[in-house]
Amino acid sequence: MSQSVLEINKNDLSPEGVSRFESALGPIAVYELDGAYYATQDGCTHARASLSEGEILDGELIECPVHGGTFHIPSGRAVGFPCKTPLRTYKVSDAGATLRIDLECEAAAACVRGETHVHGA
């Protein structure tokens, strides 16, 4: 398996809807929202915090456990103060029992918002 693709077993996902996995780029948060899967960087862009320790709100938002800022999970867009910088998102492919996370490709919803990120951003 290439280091540009992270493959995870769906059985390893948390029933709370967000899970943390290590990748070649660092920690990744993987979300299951009503049967759809998403992946973002795990670190909050405002404070040193793991978003996988946060709470999912209103079905598509992840709340930072440190300052309560929120991000739109599908697009990575910062939507709640004090967060301003969007999250890096990753394309997720559902392969049946596993998910394939492309560490080199933004999620489609992030591309719609008109922003792209470089590695390490």
What percent of the chain is modeled with pLDDT above 90? Answer: 80
Closest listed residue to residue 30, CA positions, set 45, 46, 11? 11
User: CA-to-CA distance for 103 and 40, rounded, in angstroms?
Assistant: 10
117 or 100: which leads in pLDDT: 100
52 pLDDT exceeds 80? yes
Q: Are 64 and 44 in contact (CB under 8 A)?
A: yes
Fold of 5-112: Rieske Iron-sulfur Protein (2.102.10)
d(CA 99, CA 96): 7
Q: Up-side HSE of residue 18: CA atoms within 13 Å toward CB? A: 25
Is the pLDDT at 116 greater than 70? The verdict is no
**Measured distance CA(21)–CA(39) in Å, rounded:** 10
Q: Which residues contact 56 (CB under 8 A, 6 or more apart)?
A: 16, 17, 18, 31, 33, 62, 63, 73
